[in-house]
Amino acid sequence: MKAIITILLSFVSISPIQAENGYELWLRYHRLADPRPLAQFLTAPAVCGNSPVIAAAREELTKALSGLTGHSYTILSTPNPRTSFIAGTPASSRVIPTLVSSHDLAAIGEEGFIITNTISNGRTAIAANTDIGVLYGIFHFIRLLQTQQPLQRLHIVSTPKIKLRLLDHWDNLDRTVERGYAGASIWNWHHLPDVLDQRYTDYARANASIGINGAVLTNVNADAQVLTRPYLEKVKALAGVFRPYGIKVYLTARFSAPVEIGGLRTADPLNDTVQLWWKEKAREIYSLVPDFGGFLVKANSEGQPGPQDYSRTHADGANMLAAALAPFRGIVMWRAFVYSQQSSDRFKQAYEEFTPLDGRFSPHVLVQVKNGPIDFQPREPFSPLFGAMPHTPLMMEFQLTQEYTGQGTHLLFEAPMFREVLDADTYSKGSGSTIARTIDGSLDQFPLSGMAGVSNIGSDINWCGHPFAQANWYALGRLSWDHSLSSAQIADEWLRQTFTNDPAFVVPVKKIMLRSHDLLVNYMTPLGLAHIMYNGHHYGPMPWGNSLGRPDWNPVYYHRADSTGIGFNRTETGSNALSQYAPELQAQFGNLDRCPEEYLFWFHHVPWQHRMRSGRTCWEELCYRYYAATDSMKAVVQAWGELGKYIDTERYHLVQQLLNVQLKEAIWWRNACLLYFQTFSRKPIPGVYEQPDHPLEYYRQLRFVFVPGQSK
Ligand code: GCW
């Protein structure tokens, strides 16, 4: 009877019919099709040590091995003679130094790990210098098991390339999430500190599994309340849950907090009383959270208070906060997303404000720069600040949440978009000065380095709303640990861990993921268009938008379409934003014939009749891009249609429905944009294409009031 039940159970666990809600993320430990080859590597497994981190590692390994093999495992705390798997540090186990080379141990630093079985035949060791390194190693080993990698002759030496690997939550204290499309904030401030939702632990597990080591809990449009005692007690409770997983908490600091909650008259960073107030606040925070990470600050941007309110500079403000945190080894991440001073071109403003301050920030400050000069558009050239501040560590801010890229309903795998930026050459120190090398500190020898992703997590059961949005959280973690990973590798791992190892599913879906960025760019903003979405909520196309007070909030400011052509002239004869790049890039981007077509309208006002590389005119190319992308989107829907038998029905159907929404919205973007741009080009949409089913007026009168994630 027992045998029959076991057979039935194992059948159920691999049956594609079983519904799954996606809560497990990529930490999905379902029984492998054939776990037998694993057994020899997992005899009497031992994880040495007794810290809370090691306890977490042991618990994870137990869960993973039992789930993946279908047998129950007990993890030992010291090896026995039969042990074929051992994890630990030289301090926690005398065996470890005999199983790994001291050279490797010296190379991996504080967070790295070694996985090897080449030194002692038959025994697999996970070794690190710290317990957190052991935890990272164990998560990596679990990934190898989940994705069915060969375990013979393993020799992996892995150490993170970037120090601060963070999620920035734009979560408000009332549990709304700015630009959040996955439900309410996962931080239940009302229940904290007394109720510790299991989600907090699962969040920490997921982050640790991909190397994320910090979370900024609150929105950069900050509320000073979070710095008051009752909230700090709640923060302490979260920090306690995260600590065993190596995750530090950070908060956003509202610059006017000394006035708003401190009762002071000023928040002037050069005022002694203000400085003292922040010092005491820092002391209070560290008394509750001894490993508190530090502050993230948005200042003098979009209405946030900042040092310029007192005629001080960003450096004055950042250094004042850094001085308060430095005794406790906390850091300040000061955002460069500013465009308050009117300039001839919003593109140029962050550079204009920040480059004069290069070298004036304290060593405990990083300047956090969005990947592009404007604002997380589907495709932007990289921000010219990268490479232009050699005396200041710059960290990368990517946006996981899809504010401008389909919000909650479009399948977009962001790794290719991140890679495009990381691989871009700034030429700051000659050719090969990539952004990856700029932000990992290696180019300018900075001890501090960082990469952050604006979180896409909410309280939806599957965390991120769209099942495929989880892949962007995953990608951020993996790339911040190792920015040399290819998008294909990341997609492959994630798919296998999250869905199945079956190549009949993995191969076509990987293709869909890898093409998704180009596809989305082409049905929304091809050829370097940008910022042509609706005001406010940013959902859907509104290239005609021209009603807001500030010119640089209006789509027409960005595309500049007129009867002669389309695009923003940023060359010498225009705003000359191009001068902010290295001469090599100026020469390339500045030349209409050499400029990559992906960036064309970012830098040139292109005549409608201009011959593109394809031989088509600019107008024909615009039509072609929109139509080719919507056609490809149809092909994606069709391809997904074939895949139902490989995965569970619940996630399959959700994705299927979302893909249909995406297709509908892609066609909406195409029709609205082409009909509008046609009013300038005065050319027909070529007859080979299916013509828009509504006139422009129809698209112009569409209104959406209750779109999720709107800023207050
Ligand atoms: O992209 C814009 C968003 C704002 C956001 C701002 C920022 C948090 O529309 O909602 O505010 O960027 O990054 O500060």
- Residue 337: CB within 6 Å of ligand 1? yes
Considering only CA atoms, which residue is closest to atom 2 of ligand 1? 375
Question: 128, 158, 188 — which closes off a domain?
Answer: 158
| Whole-angstrom distance, CA of residue 475 vs CA of residue 385 | 24
DSSP, collapsed to helix, strand or coil, labels residue 651 as: helix
Q: So what's the pLDDT on residue 712?
A: 65
Considering only CA atoms, which residue is closest to atom 1 of ligand 1? 375
> Do residues 444 and 536 both lie within one domain?
no
Q: SS3 sequence, 274-328?
A: HHHHHHHHHHHHHHHCCCCCEEEECCCCCCCCCHHHHCCCHHHHHHHHHHHHHHH
Question: 104, 138, 158 — which closes off a domain?
Answer: 158
DSSP string, 404-442: TTTTTT-----HHHHHHHHT-B--BTBTT-BHHHHHTST
**Structural domain contains residue 2:** no
| Whole-angstrom distance, CA of residue 228 vs CA of residue 251 | 12
CA–centroid distance, 510 to ligand 1, in Å, is 30
The CATH number of whichever domain residue 220 belongs to comes to 3.20.20.80
> Do residues 153 and 171 both lie within one domain?
no
| Whole-angstrom distance, CA of residue 510 vs CA of residue 491 | 6
Considering only CA atoms, which residue is closest to atom 11 of ligand 1? 221
Measured from the CA of 454, which atom of ligand 1 is nearest? 13
Count of domains observed in the chain = 3
> Do residues 533 and 409 both lie within one domain?
no
**Structural domain contains residue 502:** no
> Do residues 400 and 542 both lie within one domain?
no
Measured from the CA of 219, which atom of ligand 1 is nearest? 8
Rounded to whole angstroms, the maximal C-alpha distance in the chain is 83
Q: So what's the pLDDT on residue 180?
A: 98
187 token code pair: 């931080």
**Contact present, 361 and 344 (Cβ < 8 Å):** no
Q: Would you please indicate which residues are annotated as catalytic (active-site) residues? A: 302, 375, 403
3-state helix, strand, coil in the chain (%, to 5): 40, 10, 50
Q: So what's the pLDDT on residue 122?
A: 81
CA–centroid distance, 318 to ligand 1, in Å, is 20
**Structural domain contains residue 711:** no
DSSP, collapsed to helix, strand or coil, labels residue 148 as: coil
Report strand pairing: 113-116 vs 450-454: unpaired
How far does the chain reach from its first CA to its final CA, in angstroms?
60
- Residue 531: CB within 6 Å of ligand 1? no
**Structural domain contains residue 634:** yes
The CATH number of whichever domain residue 548 belongs to comes to 3.90.1330.10
> Do residues 559 and 659 both lie within one domain?
yes
Pocket probe for ligand 1: among 177, 340, 346, 375, the residue whose CB has the most ligand atoms within 8 Å is: 375
The CATH number of whichever domain residue 121 belongs to comes to 3.30.379.10
> Do residues 278 and 332 both lie within one domain?
yes
- Residue 340: CB within 6 Å of ligand 1? no
CA–centroid distance, 161 to ligand 1, in Å, is 28
| Whole-angstrom distance, CA of residue 188 vs CA of residue 274 | 31
Q: How do residues 551-602 score in pLDDT, each as one tens digit?
A: 999 999 999 999 999 999 999 999 999 999 999 999 999 999 999 999 999 9
Task: Fill in the amino acid letter for 571.
Answer: T
Pocket probe for ligand 1: among 169, 171, 179, 712, the residue whose CB has the most ligand atoms within 8 Å is: 179
> Do residues 96 and 59 both lie within one domain?
yes
Measured from the CA of 538, which atom of ligand 1 is nearest? 9
Q: So what's the pLDDT on residue 193?
A: 98
pTM: 0.97
Cα–Cα nearest to 96, from 137, 40, 52: 137
> Do residues 426 and 535 both lie within one domain?
no
Measured from the CA of 376, which atom of ligand 1 is nearest? 1
> Do residues 169 and 154 both lie within one domain?
no
| Whole-angstrom distance, CA of residue 116 vs CA of residue 176 | 46
Please list the ranges in the chain whose pLDDT falls under 70: 1-18, 121, 341, 712
The CA distances from residue 680 to 315, 456, 560, 566, 683, in Å, are 45, 37, 10, 9, 8
Domain span including residue 619 = 522-568+605-700
| Whole-angstrom distance, CA of residue 283 vs CA of residue 323 | 12
All residues at 6 or more sequence positions from 673 whose CB lies less than 8 Å from its CB, including other chains: 529, 532, 541, 543, 626
Cα–Cα–Cα angle for 111, 63, 293, rounded to 5 degrees:
30
Cα–Cα nearest to 334, from 281, 275, 384, 393: 393
Measured from the CA of 370, which atom of ligand 1 is nearest? 13
**Structural domain contains residue 10:** no
> Do residues 113 and 175 both lie within one domain?
no
Question: 118, 142, 158 — which closes off a domain?
Answer: 158
Q: So what's the pLDDT on residue 288?
A: 98
CA–centroid distance, 635 to ligand 1, in Å, is 33
Task: Fill in the amino acid letter for 268.
Answer: D
**Structural domain contains residue 257:** yes
> Do residues 401 and 327 both lie within one domain?
yes
